[in-house]
Amino acid sequence: MRVPGTIEKHDPEHQAHVCRFLGIPLHEYEDWLACYNIIHWRRFNNFLMELRDKIEECKRNKDQLCLTLNETLRLYGIEDRILNPIQEEHLLELTNRILDEHDLNWFFENHERIIEELEETFEKQSYEQHQGSA
């Protein structure tokens, strides 16, 4: 899984453009990119540690896990995605159920498959909603 907000190394032409924009020499591009990505890794890691603590506390207290929509979107790396209310509800229910039955390690091991299934479900829901309004 790619950490949300991180970026891949650009092609040489784009690297030159990025360096001009940032006002740094081209030979410092790789250092800049590493630092940029470390910042996002660290933020995401802190988020995951807080989330893990929340999950463990819910299990310890035998409470039902209830992630917020923002936590869920961030976990999937889709914070910028706009979902309709039906998709939001489905995402929250699925994620809370997965994390109630499994741990974060299992989630990340199966992250790609979960995302693919979500995309299929969202497409199906959009199609059905479009058919219902036609």
Query: Mind listing the pLDDT tens digit for each residue in 37-78?
Result: 999 999 999 999 999 999 989 889 988 888 999 999 999 888
Could you identify the residue written with the tokens 């006002």? Answer: 23
CA nearest 90: which of 110, 103, 76, 80? 76
* Mean pLDDT score of the chain: 89
Q: Are 39 and 63 in contact (CB under 8 A)?
A: no
Q: Are 76 and 69 in contact (CB under 8 A)?
A: no
The total number of residues written for the chain in this structure: 134
pLDDT tens-digit series, residues 82-123: 888 889 999 999 999 999 888 889 998 998 899 899 888 888
What does pTM read for this prediction?
A: 0.73
pLDDT of residue 49: 94
Structural element, H or E, at residue 34: helix 29-60
Q: Are 125 and 87 in contact (CB under 8 A)?
A: yes
pLDDT of residue 134: 57
